Chains A and B, each alone.
Chain A
């Protein structure tokens, strides 16, 4: 008689390591950027990226249409990040743990200071947007998704995508224009 362990299909944990590597290489950055734009914390963004990839990997065999993989991954990431934000709502944020900004040490001090000020204003403007608007503007301006794709990923109506995007662009653009 066949033992239960041999009759059972291989669990997704035992999938092809090469396929996992490809998944991370192709989508890791986009997943992280979306997570970071929502939670605004680098360490938490990395945790969310990991959780999202694990969830995706385990559910990958059930994904019917592999052409929608990117949108599907971003949707998992968005949901995971929003859950993390909701869980963190009650926690008081320490101002010293505000997002860090990478800078280029090779530039002149003046340019460095001005660049840092522009980035600070931009980050502030980004932080002042709500989570949905941040997701929308990142998916459009950085990940280059279409309006329809964004609506599908975030599960919001198309007009909402357009409205939030226009207003988010305006606010972020204003932060940039102040230093022009």
Chain B
């Protein structure tokens, strides 16, 4: 790779993301590209970032869930699923209602059309005797 290794100051600048305080010749994109391929500089920047304190425990503190979260979540999820289930039953009933209506009214008409035999003339039922 033709790009030279960034200096300590350039790595610090890149890490801080503050180009206003950049050293001369600093090119953020070039440093960015370099860090993707150069293990030595990637390790150097890891070391620079390693003394940033106990971020994990502080994050856990400020993002801490409320103590009763899981009970509440479980109830809310169960309620949502139950209401979906009820909606499903209602939709099924509505569907059944439509089916019944179709059988009672629409199919009846269709049957009547069948009995006309497509001629517009009523077909006499066969003599079952």
Interfacial residues, chain A to chain B (CB-CB below 8 A): 5, 11-15, 17, 20-21, 24-25, 28-29, 32-33, 36-37, 42, 46, 49-50, 53-54, 57, 99, 101-102, 118-119, 122-123, 126, 137-138, 141-142, 159, 162-163, 166-167, 169-174, 176-177, 180
Contacts and interface: CB of A to CB of B under 8 A. Distances in A.
A166 B42 CA distance: 10
A141 B56 contact: yes
B69 A28 contact: yes
B78 A137 contact: no
22 contacts: A11-B85, A20-B74, A25-B74, A28-B65, A28-B74, A32-B73, A33-B64, A46-B69, A49-B73, A99-B62, A119-B61, A119-B62, A137-B59, A141-B59, A142-B59, A159-B36, A167-B17, A171-B16, A172-B58, A173-B52, A173-B55, A180-B53
Contact of A11 (B16, B36, B88): B88
B111 to A, nearest CB: 20
Interface string B73-97: 1101110111011001000100000
Given A25-B70, A28-B69, A13 B84 contact: yes
Contacts of B46: 166
Contact of A29 (B15, B59, B65): B65
Contact of A20 (B32, B52, B62, B78): B78
A36 B85 CA distance: 29
Contacts of B17: 167, 170-171
A47 B61 CA distance: 20
Main secondary structure of the interface of B (DSSP, over half): helix
A169 B55 contact: yes
B22 interface: no
Contacts of B80: 50, 54
B70 A169 contact: no
Nearest to B16: A170
B38 to A, nearest CB: 12
Contacts of A29: 65, 69-70
Contacts of A33: 60, 63-65
A176 B55 CA distance: 8
A80 to B, nearest CB: 13
A57 B46 CA distance: 39
